[in-house]
Chains A and B, each alone.
Chain A
Amino acid sequence: DAGVIQSPRHEVTEMGQEVTLRCKPISGHDYLFWYRQTMMRGLELLIYFNNNVPIDDSGMPEDRFSAKMPNASFSTLKIQPSEPRDSAVYFCASSLMGGRGMPGETQYFGPGTRLLVL
């Protein structure tokens, strides 16, 4: 299996521009997670989906951020308009339902998208 695939791997953009990050989860996984990692705040969950449905978006910082999962093999995270404080590494992760019936216990991370907003 190719693992979780993310694109682009690096993105440099100017403040105010729209940014779209893409993720393809591991085939068969029914949970998909979007995280943001910064030095100051560490790894933060932004949103997660179960069977393509958003379950918890409480970590989405503000209305400038939106995420979609139109099908089981594709998700996007969009920032519009982007700001310099959005600069971070964005990870997508996927998982199966955990053995104890808990969602997303063992999560497999993609390589991340390094976003720099100037």
Chain B
Amino acid sequence: QKEVEQNSGPLSVPEGAIASLNCTYSDRGSQSFFWYRQYSGKSPELIMFIYSNGDKEDGRFTAQLNKASQYVSLLIRDSQPSDSATYLCAGFTNTGFQKLVFGTGTRLLVSP
């Protein structure tokens, strides 16, 4: 079992809809979580990070963390075709050496 799990998708949503991306993790010691966006052929870029249970909003993006359920999600409101990319969830593990552990990513397709 990978430490961070994501559905590979693709997740297809129409323009203007809400896209919901989900991630589960196995390391209960993980304290912080990150969402990176990666366009095809490009490098990952950080969108949001979250430390505390609950919701964190930044513009059209909302990250949600539920430590009891070991579940992280990213909501994208008013999805745009330019949001079409692969979204990588990462957890910061405190087991052994502290480091980011990435999921394999969910591909999002937003159709006009």
Residues of A within 8 A of B (CB): 33, 41-45, 48, 55-56, 58, 91, 100, 102-112
Contact = CB atoms under 8 A, between A and B. Distances in A.
Interface centre among A42, A100, A104, A112 (most CB of B within 10 A): A42
B88 interface: yes
A5 B44 CA distance: 14
Nearest to A40: B104
Contact of A56 (B32, B92, B99): B99
Given A56-B99, A105-B32, A41 B92 contact: no
Given A105-B32, A107-B46, A110-B43, A41 B104 contact: yes
A56 B31 contact: no
B99 A48 contact: yes
Contacts of A100: 31-32, 51
Interface centre among B98, B103, B105 (most CB of A within 10 A): B98
Contacts of B102: 42-44
B97 to A, nearest CB: 4
A43 B88 contact: yes
Given A33-B99, A102-B31, A102-B92, 6 more contacts: A42-B88, A43-B104, A105-B34, A106-B34, A109-B44, A112-B43
Q: Considering the complex of A and B, which 6 residue pairs feature the smallest CB-CB distances, nearest first?
A: A42-B104, A56-B97, A109-B43, A43-B102, A109-B44, A112-B43
A55 B97 contact: yes
